[in-house]
Every structure is written in C-alpha cells, then in structure tokens.
Chain A
Amino acid sequence: MSDKLPVIEDQPEICRSVDAGERSVWTRVMNRFADHCRARSLFVLHYCTGCGAIELPPTITSRFDMERVGVSPMVTPRQADILLITGYLSIKTLKRVILSYEQMQSPKYVIGFGSCTINGGMYWNSYATVKRLDQYIPADLFIAGCMPRPEAVQQVLLKLMEDIDAGKANGWQDYYNNYDRYLGNQQALFGESWHTPTDVIAEAKHYGYLADGTMGRHTDLLLKRADYALDRVPEDYPERGKNERRLP
C-alpha cells in the first residue's frame, strides 16, 4: 500500500498500576466489586461518527436488545462510558471526538468500529479521513469489517465486559500516561496551536496518573503556544473541581 516505512512507536505496556491501597483486602474486594459492576453497566455515547452508526439502532432495538446485557445509550459524554467510533473519522469529526473523549469520565473505553478506524479501510486514499484511530485516542478494541454486523457489535461488547471485569481494559490510563504522544499526533494533524478545553495534565496530576509520558515536547508546545496560560493554574489541586484550565 505504501512504500514509506511505517513509524515505529513504543507500544506502552497497558496494565493496571498497583497503588499502596490496593494491598489491603478491603480495597481489593471493593475494586473487584466495582469492576464487576462497571462491566455490567455500560453507557454508550450517542455519537454517530460515521456510517457504522446505522447498525447501532438494530443492536439497541428489539431484535438484538443490548439492554439485556446492561448496555444502554447515553446522551452526553459526561455520563457515557463507551465511545463507539462508528467508522471513518473525518478530520473535522476527529476534533469533536477528542473533545468528547476528554469530557468523558474515567474509566472510559473506546471501541473502533469497522476497518476504517484500523487502517483507513475503504477510504485509504481519501484526504479527509483519519487512517488510524489509535494514534489519536487509545482504543481498547476494534471490530473489523465494513460494516460490522450487530452480532459483531455485541460480541465486542461482551469481550469488553470480560476485559473490564478482569481489570484489563485500561486504555484510558494510557491516555493520561502517554498524553504527550497522543497530543503530538493530534498536533501533527491539526496544527501546533491545537488544544482542548480539558486540562488532561492537571487531571492526571490530580488523580495520580502522572507518568513519564504525560508531559514532554508536545505538551510544552501547549504551554507556549496556547492562547491561555497553563502556568497560571496552581501546581497542586487541593480541591476537586479545580482541575479545569482557566480561560483568560
């Protein structure tokens, strides 16, 4: 397809970080219980990013009935757990997807839907669509096909449930841990002045997901170039709710 050599990236090891509290039996039991419940209650963000969304109504409605496994559609990103990228993403949509993704509350999961999210699929030579979803936001699972059948959608949801139940679906932590890499890819596409209203670094700091990859070359650019000053935000975030970046 391309004679250009693909860019080799370090694939970060996606695994659950062990914190001190996790050693206590009580926390472990509670975490286990929480994971159990998370896996059985999944709200899907109502966002039809592409043509794959046409197979979601059959999946939700009477014939396949997603609600019987606890999956239901949700309207706003604030409440949603799953972001279904239903097919190709135009560059304009990708911006909204990233905004929506950052507004969703962790733990959050992304499912790439159809071949277009994996490698451009049918639109591999289109100037308008993004070729690889996982460069811009961490995707937990992909469904191959154009377009995937409702059965495939259900299958992947069940697989996601298994992963959540086992504590393995941690793509969202990867976004905090390697924010610099994701932001770099986003900046390469949208230009260097790209920024979102959600302050991911501050969130990472506040909730303890700061890692080596969170800040770097690209986030420095954010500091320098953005039309608002990140450095005016205090280093520590003593209160909840202070994790938003101030606008001038």
Chain B
Amino acid sequence: MMSYVADFIFMPLIAFVTGLGLVLMARRVRAKIERRVGPPVLQPIYDIVKLYAKKTQISHGIMHDLSIMMLLGGFITAEIFLPVPGFDGLAGEGDLITLIYIMMVPMLGLALGVGSCANPNGSIGISRALTAMLAYDIPFIIAVTGACMAYGTTNLIEIVQIQQAGGPASWGAATMPLLAFGGLLAVHGMMGKEPFEIYIAPAEIATGPMVEMSGKYMGALFIMQCFQLYTIGVIYTTLFLGGGENWPFFLAKVFAVVFISVAVTNVYGRFKTDTMIRWMWKWPTGIALAGLALVMAN
C-alpha cells in the first residue's frame, strides 16, 4: 500500500513537470519555425502562476467549478495508470481499456463546464471538440486494438516488457508500422494541433471552450494542456516505441512524439470540421485497418 502512495504523488508530479517541458518545447518550436526567439524557459510556469494569482474570477455555477475537478482529476488519474520507468502505479490493476475510458473524462468534464457558461462560442467549441473526439478516436482505438492483439495483452506493463525484451526490433513501430503510423496521425488529432485544431479556432469561434474561462479556471486548462501532451506522448511511447527503459531514453521518446506533432502543425491551416472527420476516417483509419488486418493475418 505504501508503495502506491509514492506512486500517486510522484507520477502526476512527474507528468506535470514533463508536461511543462513539452509545452515549452511546443512554443519554442513554433517560435523557431516562425523565425523568432520564443518564450523564456520558465514561461509556462509564469503563465500558470499568474493565472492562479488572479485576484478575481468569474464562476458560472457549481457545474463550472466541478468541471475543472473532472478535468484535472481525469488526467491525474490517467497518469497513475500509465507506467513510467520506476513507477508502475495502478497500471498492473487496470489496463489499457480503463486508461482509454479515463482519458475521455476530461473532455466530458470540459463539455459540462463550458455548457454552463451560456456563451454560444463555448457551446460551438465544445460540440466541435466532441466531434473531433469522434473523429480521432476511431483510428486510435483501431491502432490500440491492433497493438493489443499483437502483444496478446492489454496490460501496459506487460506490453512494455514484451517490447523491451526484444530491443528496438521488437518495438511496436518496427513490428507493426502501419498501426504505428495510423496511431501517430490519430495522436496528432488528439493533441488538437492544426490541421485538426477545429475546437480552439480563435478566428472562428474565439477560442471555443476557453472563451469564458478566467483566472484559476484558465490556469487549470493550462495545466491540463501539460498533462494532455504528456499523456498522449507516453501512451504512444508505451504502445509503439518500447516504453521506458530508463528516464533519459523514455523522456527522449516522449519529446520526440510530441515534437513530430508540433513541428508539423505550424505549416498547416486548420481543416473544417467535416473535412477533418472525413480525413480522419479515411487515411488514419484506413492505414490502421490495414495494419490490423496484417496483425490478424499473422
């Protein structure tokens, strides 16, 4: 039991700190592509502290407050189910299916909170966010299913062990490249980056779900962004890139996954909602299905 306490404390903490690094990297990469200097190293921390140090904030009722709990709670729980080097957390108890369920909680929480703001831009934004979820979840679930079938287990710890036993040649990305590629595209959509950034869309719906978030609420969303990037990076790493043998390698892989996404995003515009669904259900889904067929054939 005592070992779990350490896991519960350290796993979200590590996730948060790594997430800050990922956010910083995303902003720096964007700055470099745009040929400018970019924010200072501590900028993500300054932003979050500043938002939490706001002296006034507007709440839109109980649901609005609760949604923030759901949002952060969902991600913190998800971190505990994600095995990282040195910490297994609850990954042995719950499996991949549980994790994917938990990962839907934050988005639903956000939907509930934004719904109580009565701002039409927020409502449109959240409906777009849920639509986007529908779009990227299908290829993602296919990729996850294929991977589980190939590994023969849904237990993340075992998946990591299987991949590490055989070295890089037995990594998911090497044994099932189609699934890994389809998964990467889905992961890009999951991070909400252009061309799949349909629910943020400042010029269309004034930043959608965030439109009424102020002070601490916005701070929570900034923290959520850290967790989101980290969680997505770690899931992908665990499934297809061999998980973590040790921290330096593990972090390098997580950063690499996020790096691909943030490097690509800055040279694309944003799709329309229907284009995104069509694209997601066509290419990543098709690739992942082909990968799944290959896995089943073997």
Query: Which residues does A use to contact B, with CB under 8 Å?
Result: 33-34, 37-38, 40-41, 46, 61-63, 65, 67-70, 72, 75-76, 78-79, 81, 103, 105-107, 203, 207, 240-241, 243-244
Contact = CB atoms under 8 A, between A and B. Distances in A.
Given A34-B49, A105-B214, 18 more contacts: A34-B50, A37-B45, A37-B50, A40-B40, A65-B37, A67-B31, A67-B36, A67-B37, A68-B39, A70-B43, A70-B47, A78-B58, A78-B213, A79-B51, A81-B50, A207-B56, A241-B59, A241-B65
B46 to A, nearest CB: 4
Nearest to A239: B59
B73 interface: no
B207 interface: yes
Among B34, B43, B50, B210, residue most surrounded by chain A Cβ atoms (within 10 Å):
B50
A42 to B, nearest CB: 8
A75 B36 contact: no
Contacts of A67: 27, 31, 36-39
Interface in B32-88: 34-40, 42-43, 45-47, 49-51, 53-61, 64-65
B59 A68 contact: no
Contacts of B61: 241
Given A41-B43, A70-B46, A105 B57 contact: yes
B206 interface: yes
Contacts of A38: 50, 53
Contact of A79 (B34, B64, B213): B213
B28 to A, nearest CB: 10
B50 A41 contact: yes
Interface in B129-149: none
Contacts of A37: 45-46, 49-50, 53
A43 B50 CA distance: 10
Contacts of A240: 57, 59
Among A34, A72, A75, A103, residue most surrounded by chain B Cβ atoms (within 10 Å):
A75
Contacts of B194: none
A69 B36 CA distance: 12
B178 interface: no
B212 interface: yes
A79 B57 contact: no
Q: Which 3 pairs, one residue from A and one from B, show the smallest C-beta to C-beta distance? A: A241-B59, A34-B53, A37-B49
Contact of A105 (B42, B43, B54, B65): B54
Contacts of B43: 40-41, 70
B254 interface: no
Interface residues of B, number: 38
B218 interface: yes
9 contacts: A37-B46, A40-B42, A62-B35, A67-B27, A68-B40, A76-B206, A105-B55, A106-B56, A207-B56
B120 interface: no
B202 interface: yes
Contact of B49 (A33, A103, A243): A33
A107 B37 contact: no
A241 B55 contact: no
Contacts of A79: 51, 210, 213-214, 218
B263 to A, nearest CB: 17
A177 to B, nearest CB: 14
A169 to B, nearest CB: 13
Contacts of A203: 56
B53 A76 contact: no
Contacts of A78: 58, 211-214, 218
A207 B214 contact: no
A75 B207 contact: yes
Contact of A241 (B42, B53, B58): B58
B217 to A, nearest CB: 9
Contacts of B58: 78, 103, 105, 241, 243-244
B211 A76 contact: yes
A243 B49 CA distance: 24
Nearest to B50: A41
A65 B27 CA distance: 13
Nearest to A203: B56
Interface string B216-233: 001000000000000000
Interface in B226-276: none
Contacts of B31: 65, 67
B126 to A, nearest CB: 15
Contacts of A72: 39
Nearest to B60: A241
B55 A40 contact: no
B125 to A, nearest CB: 11
Contacts of A241: 58-61, 64-65
Contacts of A76: 206-207, 210-212
A69 B34 CA distance: 16
B56 A62 contact: no
A41 B47 contact: yes
B52 to A, nearest CB: 8
B177 interface: no
